[in-house]
Amino acid sequence: MKTLCIIPACTYSRVFPGMYFPFPAGKPLIVLNIEAARRAVSIDRVVVATNDHTVGAWARHYGAQVTAGPQVKPGEPAPVASVLIHVLDCLLDHEKYQPDLVVFLNAASPFVSNTDIDKAVKQLQRDGYDSIFSADAGTVKGLWLLDDSTGAIPFGPAPAQTSGLRHEPAVYRENGSMYVCKTDTLRNTYSLTGGHTGIFELPAECSLQRGIQTDSGCMEWCSDRRHFSSAPPGLPPRTPPVELLAHIRLLALDFDGVLTDNRVWVNGTGEEAVCCSRADSWGISCLKQQGVRVAVVSTETSPVVAARCHKLGIPCASGSQNKVAALRKISDKLGIDRCQIAFAGNDTNDAQVLRWVGLPILVNNALPELAPLAAWITCNQGGHGAVREICDLLISAQRATGLSDSANTRKPA
């Protein structure tokens, strides 16, 4: 029996924009689903449906096949069933591939494990269902409707008429995290819950959806509970896929700890001096020749920042208490989208901008607590070739893919 897992990640969805940005442990949400599906013994193939090159790059990097989603008008998300059938049609037309079962995983709900997937598929086959969906169990105790004229009305058995929690009837809430259905049932009913339908019970934390029901802090806590990988001690290097590096049009850098080794020398008159790497300088020069813009965004007010940036020939936003606002101002002026921005930082004042950019980078000696925010952790330390390493890999990726500045930069409005 052939089983296909489809993960729609279409950026025209009402809930998906920004979902592919790194979280947790430097991995976009969708990667957690891809890894779970690839580990599931019941899954033969994993396909991500997306029209976004960044999502596609991450998906391919982690072993999923990528196909374009259906074309719809902006702001009008396609029904999930239509996306799945579109993928099935593409695979049938181009490869004559037709699975027996389809597993749908929600890209915004990354807490379904490979074990959950295998159990759900087995349950569908064992119990003779045509479709099965994930849900979390609860009770009807204490549910009320509010009517303007009559006041509160019990929804289900009135609490006063029930004898206790143990005797409440169980109810199940469809959580949207996972569906398994026969391919014929999906095509015939145009529904993920068509035919004879069953319920696969999941823990409550698997029902959480990023950007809808919870924030990143709660999601990260639940990811630890579900035994997903979190940042290990220290900062072991990690590098994002080449396709993602190739689309970067602006490299923004913190100053202290990134362009310097985070030390400062102060003489008797209060003048400061820092230690920088000439290798970094040459890397920046080469990256600029490739057509990638470079800028410094720093909270530091010392004149040494402006002096160094002037020597490098790059713009500098020093004394920036709001780095996101400062970087947005630079990118808007250049006509560069946030998804095409890489930012390299090292300390807590970089956290907000690391969350905002398309490619968050940490130098190797950055604060360990920031590791979950980084898609890229350099092998070299700040002030000791980390920036050169970044520049070299960006140049290599862009040359390998043949992408140019004109093809990847949108013009200012």
CATH number of the domain bearing residue 311: 3.40.50.1000
pLDDT for 16 equals 41
Per the model's pLDDT, the better-predicted residue between 277 and 47 turns out to be: 47
Domain presence at residue 234: no
Decide: pTM greater than 0.85.
Answer: no
Domain ranges, residue 158? 3-225
Contacts of 80 (CB under 8 A, 6+ apart): 8, 104, 192
Domain presence at residue 237: no
Q: Are residues 132 and 202 in the same domain?
A: yes
| Domain end among 166, 199, 225 | 225
Candidates 375, 385, 345; CA nearest to 239 is 375
Domain presence at residue 233: no
CATH code (residue 154): 3.90.550.10
Q: Are residues 87 and 211 in the same domain?
A: yes
Q: Does residue 192 contact residue 104 with C-beta atoms inside 8 Å?
A: yes
Q: Are residues 103 and 44 in the same domain?
A: yes
pLDDT for 333 equals 94
CA 271 to chain centre: 43
Q: Are residues 342 and 392 in the same domain?
A: yes
Convert the pLDDT of each residue in 162-175 to its tens digit.
Answer: 555 555 666 788 88
Helix (H) or strand (E) holding 186: helix 183-189
Q: Are residues 204 and 269 in the same domain?
A: no
**Cα–Cα distance between 251 and 236 in angstroms, integer?**
22
Q: Are residues 191 and 66 in the same domain?
A: yes
Q: Are residues 166 and 312 in the same domain?
A: no
Handedness of CA 158, 161, 164, 169 (dihedral sign): negative
**Cα–Cα distance between 88 and 25 in angstroms, integer?**
32
Amino acid at 194: G
Q: Are residues 133 and 27 in the same domain?
A: yes
Segment 92-96 shows an average pLDDT of 94
Instruction: Give the pLDDT band (50/70/90) at residue 231.
Output: very low
Separation in Å, CA 157 to CA 163, 169, 386: 11, 9, 64
Number of domains into which the chain is organized: 2
Domain presence at residue 236: no
Convert the pLDDT of each residue in 168-202 to its tens digit.
Answer: 666 788 888 999 999 999 999 999 999 999 999 98
Helix (H) or strand (E) holding 401: helix 386-401
**Cα–Cα distance between 360 and 366 in angstroms, integer?**
12
Q: Are residues 77 and 216 in the same domain?
A: yes
Ramachandran quadrant class, 335 (left: phi over 0; alpha: psi -120 to 50; beta: rest): left
pLDDT for 56 equals 85
| Domain end among 225, 256, 278 | 225
Exposed (0-12), middle (13-18) or buried (19+): which is 247, by Cβ within 10 Å? buried
The 10 Å Cβ neighbour count of residue 269 is 5
Amino acid at 323: K
pLDDT for 27 equals 67
| Domain end among 171, 197, 225 | 225
Domain presence at residue 413: no
Q: Are residues 49 and 185 in the same domain?
A: yes
Domain presence at residue 379: yes
Q: Are residues 308 and 195 in the same domain?
A: no
User: Taking the C-alpha atoms of 9, 10, 14 and 19 in order, what is their torsion angle to the nearest 10 degrees?
Assistant: 40
Domain presence at residue 86: yes
Domain presence at residue 36: yes
Q: Are residues 392 and 332 in the same domain?
A: yes
Q: Does residue 297 contact residue 287 with C-beta atoms inside 8 Å?
A: no
